[in-house]
Amino acid sequence: MARTASTGQKIAWTVVAWVIALVIFFPILYTIITSFKTEPEAIAGISLIPSGTFQNYIDVETQRDYFRPFMNSVIISLGSTVLALIVAIPAAWSMAFSPTRRTKDILMWMLSTKMMPAVAVLVPIYLLFRDWGLLDSRIGLTLMLTLINLPIVVWMLYTYFREIPGEILEASRMDGASLWNEIVYVLTPMAVPGIASTLLLNIILAWNESFWTIRLTTTNAAPLTAFIASFSSPQGLFWAKLSAASTMAIAPILIMGWFSQRQLVRGLTFGAVK
């Protein structure tokens, strides 16, 4: 029997939800507000009313090229996501539908690579990239981000695939579907919400990744994370410009997230209610 909430309860929950959402969103909101302030205003203290200057955006645009890092971010995050999905879908399929005694161990091992601090492998990776000529290249960075996010992608897909009844796949096999047809025509369409949310989340993760993207690039492949980092300064007032640069860097992913929130929420809550 479904419980019915009173109007008062509904209003209370709505207010709570809005307050939580505002608290979570506040840093981003404040960054956007600060980007429209002058430098002395930005550092003067908390104020939600900017003077409305666009000078910071003009300064950021004239000081550094925005387009190249933007394109690098797009290519690297999309490229690494597609590559990760190509590897992860068959891997998650095999683990979900043909598990062995060691499947759980493999999954844990994959996840354990995320537990190591990235800086611990900085020098070996840097040397490999140097020797293979991958430093400051989009291909190198795409590969790196693919490998970094692969464990999460496999885990997410594995969780979604487990929700799909194995009998449906069996039925397709009995109808004579090959392995390829089974994955492409039966499994994938059924897992679309899960794959979509994995794809979106992976794009966001790749877009925001800053450790490797800053350390393995100089100019040619430097994405928007490096663009933001270039506006941080130890001496002088650059908060407003830094905020403008950050706003420009997060705007594309924020807009993408806004439009795809339905898919994101659907995917993230997929299988939550049985």
Partner 1 sequence: MKLKTLMLGACSMLAIAGTAQAQSTTLTIATVNNGDMIRMQSLTEDFTTKNPDIQLNWVTLEENVLRERVTTDVATKGGQYDVMTIGNYEVPIWAKQGWLLPLDNLGADYDVDDLLPSIRSGLEMDGKLYAAPFYGESAMLMYRTDLFEKAGITMPEDPTWEFIADAARKITDRDANLSGICLRGKAGWGENMAFLTALNNSFGGRWFDENWKPQFDQPEWKESLQFYVNLMKDAGPSGASSNGFNENLTLFQQGQCGMWMDATVAASFVADPKNSTVADKVGYAMFPSKEGVDNHGNWLWSWNLAIPAGSTKADAAQKFISWATSKGYTELVASKESWAAVPPGTRTSLYENAEYKKEPFAEPTFKAIQAANITKPTVKPVPYIGGQWVSIPEFQSLGTTVGQLFSAALAGQTSVDDALAQAQQVSTREMTRGGYIK
In the complex, the residues that contact partner 1 under the rule CB under 8 A are 39-40, 43-44, 63-64, 122-123, 126-127, 130, 135-136, 214-215, 218-219, 222, 226, 229-238
Give the nearest distance from C-beta 228 to partner 1 in angstroms: 10
Looking at the Cβ atoms of 215 and 266, the one nearer to partner 1 is 215
Give the nearest distance from C-beta 189 to partner 1 in angstroms: 44
CA distances from 252 to 159, 199, 209, 249 (A): 29, 16, 15, 7
Give the nearest distance from C-beta 165 to partner 1 in angstroms: 50
Task: In whole angstroms, give the CA distance from residue 26 to residue 163.
Answer: 35
Task: In whole angstroms, give the CA distance from residue 196 to residue 75.
Answer: 18
Contact 81, 197 (CB under 8 A): no
Q: SS3 helix, strand, coil % of the chain, rounded to 5?
A: 75, 0, 25
Looking at the Cβ atoms of 75 and 122, the one nearer to partner 1 is 122
Looking at the Cβ atoms of 22 and 121, the one nearer to partner 1 is 121
Give the nearest distance from C-beta 175 to partner 1 in angstroms: 51
Task: In whole angstroms, give the CA distance from residue 258 to residue 260.
Answer: 6
Looking at the Cβ atoms of 92 and 222, the one nearer to partner 1 is 222
Looking at the Cβ atoms of 158 and 239, the one nearer to partner 1 is 239
Looking at the Cβ atoms of 232 and 269, the one nearer to partner 1 is 232
Return the number of other C-beta atoms located less than 10 Å from residue 12's C-beta: 12
Specify the DSSP element, H or E, that contains 86: helix 67-97
Give the nearest distance from C-beta 118 to partner 1 in angstroms: 12
Give the nearest distance from C-beta 30 to partner 1 in angstroms: 17
CA distances from 154 to 32, 137, 157, 178, 266 (A): 35, 26, 5, 23, 18
Give the nearest distance from C-beta 203 to partner 1 in angstroms: 24
Find where tokens 């930005």 sit: 42
Looking at the Cβ atoms of 135 and 152, the one nearer to partner 1 is 135
Return the number of other C-beta atoms located less than 10 Å from residue 122's C-beta: 14
